[in-house]
Amino acid sequence: MKSLQIAIPLVAAGLVVASLSFVSAAIAQEAKPPREGETGGSFVDNFDGLDLKRWYISDGWSNGDHQNCIWSKRNLKASNGELEMVFDQRLIKDREYACAELQTRKTFGYGTYEARVQSAQGSGLNSAFFTFIGPRDKKPHDEIDFEVLGKNLNEVQVNQYVSAKGGNEKMADVPGGAQTKFNDYAFVWQKDRLRFYVNGALVNDVTDPAKLPQNPQKIFFSLWGTEKLSDWMGRFHYDGPQTMRVDRVAFTAEGDKCQFPESVACKLN
Q: What residues are annotated to the active site?
A: 143, 147
| Other residues' Cβ atoms within 10 Å of the Cβ of residue 8 | 20
- Residue 149 phi/psi, 5° resolution? -95, 130
Round to whole Å and give the CA distance between 87 and 238.
Answer: 10
Longest dimension (CA), the chain: 51
Q: How far is C-alpha 269 from the geometric centre of its chain's CA atoms?
A: 27
Round to whole Å and give the CA distance between 12 and 7.
Answer: 15
Q: Which helix (H) or strand (E) holds 18?
A: strand 15-20
Are residues 23 and 147 in contact, defined by beta-carbon separation less than 8 angstroms? no
If we measure between CA atoms, which residue out of 192, 193, 29, 218 comes closest to residue 130?
Answer: 218
Write the CA distances from 169 to 61, 118, 159, integer angstroms: 27, 21, 5
Contact residues for 268 (Cβ-Cβ < 8 A; gap 6+)? 112, 188
